[in-house]
């Protein structure tokens, strides 16, 4: 009998192994097929279509392995440098008869990124190549891009109203008090407003003044850029009195846009497609309004990054700075440290560029990244920092090893200050009759006690540690920028600055893009900028992530445009997602933080981040 059972187990084991091998072979073949598919077809003449149905970021997050197969709606993220390269290569390639910007599903980017892409589009237009933009309704961000087009189209049933940066922030103090949660806040920085939603019911005067200055500058930059791209458009009038212009058009927003010169043409997608077909050729195998198309993915693959010449390392610090490990799109300290040290050991790097696009996060992880960057300096490599959309708080901390710092006028930076938050629940527990007691051998036994509350001694010690951390932050910036600690403290205090002001006060050296920073690093290494290539020190996507990306064919026609009411619905969802995310951050924040609050309301839509995914999970759990 034992022999029979043993034989049966052996057979079951063999069967399971064969099934596993078969599954691995199947997915391996699928992956190989999908990986080989893009780029196998020759690029034919047509219009290069940038269907930007998502956000533009410095480093896209890795897609979930089987999100596409499960029907999960995963917002797309486009890599900034790929978008810019696609536009610039299209400008001089005769196969590209026109550049088409499909902005119906665009969910935003930081002002600096919008400026860089807008400039690239303007270069195509200046080269006399047609650029056509289409949307049902443009947002401020999508219009920043569309304004550079030679033809701007809008749906007759849509129309555009400009909002400007700013808006309300959620404050949870009233809810926290009702729940009986005690929020212990330890911070340094007069303007370090990240903690205010948990400690106040409204915005402090200092935070309001800082936000007004930042948003005002970014608003002015937006107006100047749009006015430069479309000098005949009545932008000022549409910003000051949109109601008068819309009422004069009998409530027809699209017609008001047309009369003000904000758009050039009214038409649905079919009409727009026919216009593009007249330039790039009609695709007669498809319905009316179809035209010869060059897809974004195929074009990017057909125009890869150069690999010749000496290597300039580019270390990307993008997303929230967190302890431990994490995937692309998150600046995990351990992951970035490993990428930096592996690059120094395995690549023959001649210089280093640190590309920063982060609102900050863990001080411990920020310091870990900073020390890894210093290893490059110890080897004698020039270190240049290139700030993207934002490099605030921890994002500035990791920038301090730089020999020179590049930024854009619209870069958000500064926010030199740190804080820590510990919630305790003694009052909430008391409301339901739960108390705590126990033996303590030292004044710090059991601290921080999330069920019984913290002690004055513990609060004093933690606040002292926060103040020491701030002094270290100030010292690093002072040494890096050759400023006195008193001067850094004066421009620090958690204050957030735009890139233009940051340059004036000494936090930034020059204006320029990542390309400019790489060229400067080459010059500092005594190399010819024309004979180098960027060696990106990033972990390549895993097999499953590549498989998931392969299932996205780029032919998704499900995206539909939204009018003003659709934007209201999106804003409502984003607010709920932010509230859910804020509660998670309050409950799970486990380290001293250097993070920027103001940065969250300026860049890509909140619907693209972890807050939205958390909201989706919550709604799924409760059956909505």
Instruction: Cite the active site residues.
Output: 192, 393
Phi, psi of 517 (to 5 degrees): -65, -40
Give long-range contacts, CB 8 A cutoff, 24+ apart: 537-542.
Answer: 537/313, 537/314, 537/315, 537/316, 537/339, 537/340, 537/342, 537/343, 537/347, 538/59, 538/316, 538/328, 538/339, 539/327, 539/328, 539/335, 539/339, 541/62, 541/328, 542/62
**Which element (helix H / strand E) includes 536?**
strand 532-536
Are 135 and 184 in contact, with CB atoms under 8 Å apart? no
Q: Other C-beta atoms within 10 Å of 302: how many?
A: 17
Please answer whether residues 310 and 101 qualify as being in contact, where contact means their C-beta atoms are separated by less than 8 angstroms: no
**How deeply is 40 buried, as exposed, middle or buried, from its count of CB atoms within 10 A (0-12, 13-18, 19+)?**
exposed
Per-residue tokens: 343: 């690059």
Per-residue CA distances from 596 to 56, 62, 412, 413, 511 (Å) = 20, 24, 10, 9, 22
Peptide bond into 448 cis (omega under 30): yes
Residue with tokens 């999970």: 617
Q: What distance in Å separates the CA atoms of residue 169 and residue 198, rounded to the nearest whole number?
A: 12
CA distance 180 to 429: 8
**593, 417 Cβ separation under 8 angstroms:** no
The DSSP bridge partners found for residue 188 are 418
Give yes or no for a contact between 62 and 115, defined as CB atoms under 8 angstroms apart: no
Give the position of tokens 């150069």: 306
**E strand or H helix that includes residue 295:** strand 293-295
Helix (H) or strand (E) holding 488, with range, is helix 485-491
Q: Indicate if the alpha-carbon torsion angle 226, 230, 231, 235 is positive or negative.
A: negative
Residue 538 DSSP class: -
CB 560 within 8 A of CB 51: no
What Rg do the C-alpha atoms of the chain give, in angstroms?
Answer: 27
Q: Which two tokens stand for residue 114?
A: 């919008």
Q: Are strands 412-414 and 496-498 parallel, antiparallel or unpaired?
A: antiparallel
Q: Tell me the C-alpha to C-alpha distance, in Å, between residue 358 and each of 91, 225, 414.
A: 31, 24, 11
d(CA 185, CA 207): 16
Which residue from 395, 354, 622, 369 is spatially nearest to 514, judged by alpha carbons? 354
**For 543-565, b where at least 16 C-beta lie within 10 A, e where not — what string?**
eebbbbbbeeeeeeeeeebbbee
End-to-end distance of the chain based on CA atoms, in angstroms?
Answer: 53
The number of C-alpha atoms within 13 Å of 225 and in the hemisphere containing its C-beta is 29
């Amino acid at each position: 009998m034992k022999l029979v059972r043993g034989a049966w187990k052996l057979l079951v084991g063999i069967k399971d192994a064969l099934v596993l091998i078969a599954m691995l072979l199947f997915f391996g073949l699928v992956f190989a097929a999908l990986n080989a598919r893009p780029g196998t077809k020759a690029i034919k003449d047509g219009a290069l279509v940038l269907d930007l149905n998502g956000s533009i970021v410095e480093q896209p997050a890795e897609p979930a392995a089987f999100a596409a197969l499960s029907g999960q709606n995963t917002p797309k993220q486009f890599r900034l440098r790929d978008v810019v390269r696609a536009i610039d290569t299209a400008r001089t390639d005769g196969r590209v008869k026109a550049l088409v910007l499909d902005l119906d599903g665009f969910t935003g980017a930081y002002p600096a990124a919008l400026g860089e892409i807008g400039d690239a589009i303007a270069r195509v237009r200046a080269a006399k190549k047609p650029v056509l933009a289409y949307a049902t309704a443009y947002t401020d961000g999508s219009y920043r891009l569309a304004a550079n087009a030679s033809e701007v189209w809008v749906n007759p049933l849509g129309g555009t109203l400009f909002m400007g940066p700013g808006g309300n922030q959620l404050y949870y103090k009233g809810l926290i008090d009702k729940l009986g949660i005690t929020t212990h806040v330890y911070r340094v920085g007069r303007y370090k407003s990240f903690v205010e939603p948990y400690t106040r019911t409204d915005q402090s005067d200092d935070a309001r003044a800082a936000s007004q200055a930042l948003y005002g500058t970014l608003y002015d930059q937006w107006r100047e850029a749009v006015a430069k791209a479309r000098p005949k458009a009545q932008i000022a009038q549409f910003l000051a009195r949109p109601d008068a212009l819309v009422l004069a058009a009998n409530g027809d927003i699209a017609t008001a846009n047309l009369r003000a010169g904000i758009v050039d043409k009214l038409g649905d997608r079919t009409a727009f497609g026919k216009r593009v077909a007249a330039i790039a050729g009609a695709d007669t195998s498809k319905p009316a309004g179809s035209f010869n198309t060059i897809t974004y993915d195929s074009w990017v693959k057909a125009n890869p990054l150069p690999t010749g010449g000496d290597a300039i390392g580019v270390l990307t610090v993008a997303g929230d700075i967190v302890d431990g490990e994490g995937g692309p799109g998150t600046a995990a300290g351990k992951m970035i440290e490993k990428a930096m040290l592996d690059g120094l050991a395995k690549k023959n790097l001649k210089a280093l560029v640190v590309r920063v696009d982060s609102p900050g996060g863990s001080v411990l992880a920020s310091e870990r990244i900073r020390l890894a960057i210093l290893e490059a300096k110890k080897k004698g490599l020039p270190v240049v920092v290139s700030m993207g959309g934002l490099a605030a708080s921890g994002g500035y901390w990791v920038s301090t090893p730089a020999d020179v710092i590049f930024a854009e006028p619209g870069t958000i930076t500064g926010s030199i200050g740190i804080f820590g938050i510990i919630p305790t629940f003694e009052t909430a527990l008391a409301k339901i009759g739960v108390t705590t007691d126990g033996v303590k051998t030292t004044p710090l036994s059991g601290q921080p006690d999330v069920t019984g509350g913290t002690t004055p001694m513990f609060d004093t010690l933690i606040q002292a540690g926060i103040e020491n951390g701030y002094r270290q932050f100030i010292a690093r910036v002072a040494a890096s920028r050759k400023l006195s600690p008193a001067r850094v403290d004066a421009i620090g205090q958690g204050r957030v600055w735009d890139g233009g002001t940051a340059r004036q006060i000494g936090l930034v050296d020059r204006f320029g893009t990542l390309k400019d920073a790489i060229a400067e690093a080459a010059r500092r290494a005594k190399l010819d900028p024309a004979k180098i290539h960027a060696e990106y020190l990033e972990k390549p996507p895993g097999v499953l992530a590549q498989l998931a990306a392969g299932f996205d064919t780029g032919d998704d026609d499900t995206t539909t445009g939204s009018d003003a009411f659709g934007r209201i619905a999106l804003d409502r969802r984003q607010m709920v997602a932010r509230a859910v995310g804020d509660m998670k951050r309050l409950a799970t924040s486990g380290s001293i933080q250097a993070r920027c609050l103001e940065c969250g309301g300026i860049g890509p839509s909140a619907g693209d981040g972890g807050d939205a995914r958390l909201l989706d999970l919550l709604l799924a759990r409760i059956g909505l």
